[in-house]
Amino acid sequence: MADYKNFTVETDNDGIVLVTWDMPDKSMNVFTEEVMDEIEAICDATRGDEAVKGVVFTSGKKGSFSGGADLSMLNGRMERIQELKDNPTEEGMKELFEGAGRMSWLWRKIETNGKPWVAAINGTCMGGATELALSCHYRIAADSEKVKIALPEVKVGIFPGAGGTQRVPRLIDTQEALKFMTTGSPMDASKAQKTGLIHEVVAADDLVDAAKAKLKAGEVDPEAPWDKKKFRAPGTPVYSGAGSQLWPPAIAILRKQTYGNYPAAEAILKCVFEGLQVPIDTGLTIEQRYFTEILRTTEAAMMVRSLFISLQELNKGARRPDGVEKSKFKKIGVLGGGGFMGAGIGYVTAKAGIDVVLLDRDAESAEKGRQHAAGIMDGRIKKRRATEADKEEILSRITTTADYADLEGCDLVVEAVFEDSGVKKAATESAEAVIPDGTIFASNTSTIPISSLAQNSKKPDQFIGIHFFSPVDKMMLVEIILGEKTGEKALATAIDYVRAIGKTPIVVNDTRGFYVNRCVLRYISEAYNMLVEGVPPAMIENAAKMAGMPVGPLALNDETAIDLSQKIMRQTARDLGDDAIDQRHMKMVDELVEKGRLGRKAGKGFYDYPEKPAKKHLWPGLKEMFDQTAADSLDVETLEERFLFTIAIEAARVMEEGIVEDPREADVGSILAFGFAPYSGGALSYIDGFGAKVFVERADALKAEYGEQFAVPELLRDMASKDQSFYERFPVGRKAA
What does DSSP say about strands 64-66 and 477-482: parallel, antiparallel, or unpaired? unpaired
Phi and psi dihedrals of 463, rounded to 5? -110, 130
Cα dihedral 514/516/521/523 (nearest 10) = 150
Which secondary-structure segment (H or E) carries 717?
Answer: helix 714-722
Helix axes 553-560, 537-546, angle to 10 degrees: 100
Residues 639/493, Cβ–Cβ less than 8 Å: no
- The residues facing 359 across adjacent strands are 335, 401
What Cα–Cα distance (Å) separates residue 164 from each residue in 116, 389, 394, 461, 557? 20, 37, 38, 52, 40
Residues 470/340, Cβ–Cβ less than 8 Å: yes
585 is catalytic: no
Distance from C-alpha of 16 to C-alpha of 12, rounded to nearest angstrom: 6
Distance from C-alpha of 585 to C-alpha of 467, rounded to nearest angstrom: 27
Enumerate helices (H) and strands (E) in the chain, giving the number of each: 31, 21
Sign of CA dihedral 720, 723, 727, 731: negative
Catalytic residue (one of 372, 467, 585, 617): 467
Distance from C-alpha of 298 to C-alpha of 688, rounded to nearest angstrom: 10
Please give the DSSP secondary-structure letter assigned to residue 607: E
Burial annotation 204-242 (CB, 10 A radius, 16+ → b, else e): beebbebbbbbbeeeebebebebeeeeeebebbebeeee
Distance from C-alpha of 229 to C-alpha of 238, rounded to nearest angstrom: 19
Distance from C-alpha of 668 to C-alpha of 307, rounded to nearest angstrom: 7
What Cα–Cα distance (Å) separates residue 212 from each residue in 20, 54, 224, 523? 13, 8, 19, 58
Burial annotation 159-187 (CB, 10 A radius, 16+ → b, else e): bbbbbbbbbbbbbbbbebbbebbbebebb
The residue among 674, 535, 537 whose CA lies nearest residue 592 is 537
> In which region does residue 260 sit, left (phi positive, over 0), alpha (psi from -120 to 50) or beta (all else)?
left
CA triple 172-176-178, angle to 5 deg:
105
CA triple 664-665-668, angle to 5 deg:
80
Residues 330/318, Cβ–Cβ less than 8 Å: no
Q: Is 520 helix (H, G, I), strand (E, B) or coil?
A: helix
Catalytic positions, please? Answer: 467
